[in-house]
Amino acid sequence: MQIGKAGAPVSHISQAYPDRVEVRGRDLTGDVMGRLSFTAYFHLLLTGHEPTEEQEYFLDVLLVAIAEHGMMPTNVAARMTLAADPGSLQGAVAAGILGCGPVILGTAEECARLLERDDPAAAVKQLRAGGQKVPGFGHPVHKPLDPRAERILDLADARGVSGTYVGRARDVRAAVEETWGRPLTMNVSMPIAAVMLDLGFPASAVKAVPILARTGGLLAHLAEEQQHPVGFLMAAHAEEAIEYERDD
């Protein structure tokens, strides 16, 4: 059965032939391998274009900023999963990625959509009036500033990349402080979104960056788990923290 309307049966990414692999119109082995970094290649795969020097520099900055942040819930879940199924590294990575939802990691795309609105600062007041959260603000550890967010903004200013969207991110920060009556921590998601938009990425691509980055962090935790397991120890502490109570 065909669910929904079928679109054009076409893909523009790559094709393997007996003697070569073509990727985005390029010969993978003759033209790409050894010439492009993985970061530049990821840009090519995702957008169809090789990055400019600034695009590659900031894609590296953003991937590095978000890849790893301590024993996050996604790392905990992945390490427990590997402890339970030690033969499947891919299963444990998948379990960790499944936690890359809006609460922990998925707000960069929402930030991008906010920054693309005509007047994001006005939107902040509407969100507040409607009892909703503003994406990209608040952090359980980093107070009063998220050092990653500040560093991204500093680098973007220093290299002349800050444009419309970094400007809007700062307007949103000011609007949040005014609306809430006190400053809230602007977390790393907002500058990720702002810099990506200023560099020409579409909003829909913004979420791909945190997911690739966190996969790198997950693989590091899982390599450590294979050598020095703590997954079941963490599971025991988690379990002990919760009391079983009979229903009334």
Pick out residues in 122-181 that bind a second copy (CB under 8 A): 140-143, 145, 147-148, 150-152, 155
Which residue, 178 or 232, is less far from a second copy as judged by CB? 232
φ, ψ at 130 (rounded to 5°):
-85, 5
Q: Listing from the earlier edge strand, what are the strands of the sheet with 20-23? A: 14-17, 20-23, 26-27
- The stretch near a second copy (CB under 8 A) out of 40-48, 120-128, 168-176, 191-199 is 40-48
CB of 89 to a second copy, least distance (A): 5
Q: How near is the Cβ of 163 to a second copy at its closest, in Å?
A: 19
3-state secondary structure of 227: helix
> Looking at beta carbons only, is 118 or 240 nearer to a second copy?
240
Do 203 and 113 touch, CB atoms closer than 8 A? yes
Q: Which two tokens stand for residue 162?
A: 């800050």
Cα distances (angstroms) measured from residue 100 to each of 97, 169, 197, 213: 5, 23, 21, 11
Question: Using CB under 8 A, which residues numbered 98 to 127 contact a second copy?
Answer: 98-106
Pair of tokens at residue 83:
């402890």
Q: Which stretch binds a second copy (CB under 8 A): 72-80, 119-127, 167-175, 190-198?
A: 72-80
Q: Which is nearer to a second copy, 29 or 164 (by Cβ)?
A: 29
Which region, judged by CB under 8 A, interacts with a second copy, from 110-118, 163-171, 175-183, 240-248? 240-248
Least Å from the CB of residue 41 to a second copy: 5
Is the distance from CB of 136 to CB of 168 less than 8 angstroms?
no
By three-state DSSP, how is residue 154 classified? helix
Please enumerate in sequence order all residues whose Cβ is within 8 A of that of 229, keeping only pairs 6 or more positions apart, or say none: 79, 83
Shortest distance (Å) from residue 121 CB to a second copy = 26
User: Is 15 or 52 the residue whose CB approaches a second copy more closely?
Assistant: 15
Longest dimension (CA), the chain: 70
Cα–Cα distance between 159 and 60 in angstroms, integer? Answer: 14
Of positions 65, 190, 192, 199, contacts a second copy by CB under 8 A: 65
Q: Report 170-229 residues binding a second copy (CB under 8 A).
A: 204-205, 207-208, 211-213, 215-217, 219-224, 226-229
Residues in 9-28 at the binding interface with a second copy, rule: CB under 8 A: 9-25, 28
Question: For 4, how many CA atoms within 13 A lie in the half-sphere containing its CB?
Answer: 3
Binding-site size, a second copy (CB under 8 A): 130
**88 binds a second copy per the rule CB under 8 A:** yes
